[in-house]
Amino acid sequence: MFKGFYVPDRNYSEMARIFITGSADGLGQMAAASLVKQGHQVVLHARNNQRGHHAKERVPGAERVLIADLSSMEETKNLAEEANATGRFDAVIHNAGVYQVSGRDRSIDGIPILFAVNSLAPYILTVLIQKPERLIYLSSGLHSQGSAKLDGLTLENFRVRNTVSYADTKLHDVILCKAVARHWPDVYSNAVNPGWVPTRMGGKGAPDDLEKGYQTQAWLAVSDDKNAKVSGRYFFHQKENKYLPVADSVKVQEQFLSICEHISGIRFPAV
């Protein structure tokens, strides 16, 4: 059963170029600000122009802000094209996510918004953005309550009933991370549980450390630490952590990739 592996060591440039989805606020914005402060080149992403303006104000050292609503497949595909047009990235942090959304709420494509933003958008961007050296997927401790029964994830089922939960989508992110690590051995692909932190999404009463919540994804994006230069792992506060073992199933990984391909019309390249 695949459980991750070290990929060959390489020298990493002093300055890296990083794209962070969902960086208009919360952990994405904090990671961006931290990376800019370290001297890295960061491209932000926001859902709309108003949030994009806010993001640039909060992280003035960022290179630019790209705009796209990740609940729309067309806008997500266009975002990948725009990102590629700006130049190659050393790392992409798939930070964007929604939480307080009903599973019944549908996107313009007729897909539950939870699945469209949390599960499908990272897949589309992973496939279409020029392959970076590092990929980081934001998951959650709640992924352990997710279901790996993927048969119901079809456009037909999405149109008639709710078939996905937040926990499911966070498990999808771990599954995607594992699949990418297995198919692309030249890329460091890892998943992160940032903890239950007091962001707008997590709420003021969240008990975990806010700084530690963003530090792990920033560390995985640029660090030369041998503990960061691994692949197919699941991290919590810069340490490898337990995750739902079903994410290691090649059968489950391939089924998830197939579902995303069927819905998006975009095939995952094996190499």
Catalytic option among 77, 123, 137, 170: 170
166 a catalytic residue: yes
Residue written as token pair 């498990």: 171
Catalytic option among 166, 188, 214, 243: 166
Q: Which secondary-structure segment (H or E) carries 211?
A: helix 210-222
Give the Cα separation of 70 and 122 in Å (integer): 9
Hey, which residues does 67 pair with through a beta bridge?
46
Give the Cα separation of 22 and 201 in Å (integer): 12
Q: Rounded to the nearest 10 degrees, how much is the dihedral formed by the CA atoms of 80, 188, 175, 239?
A: -130
> In angstroms, what is the C-alpha Rg of the chain?
17
226 a catalytic residue: no
Both tokens of 131, joined, read 């392959």
Catalytic residues: 166, 170
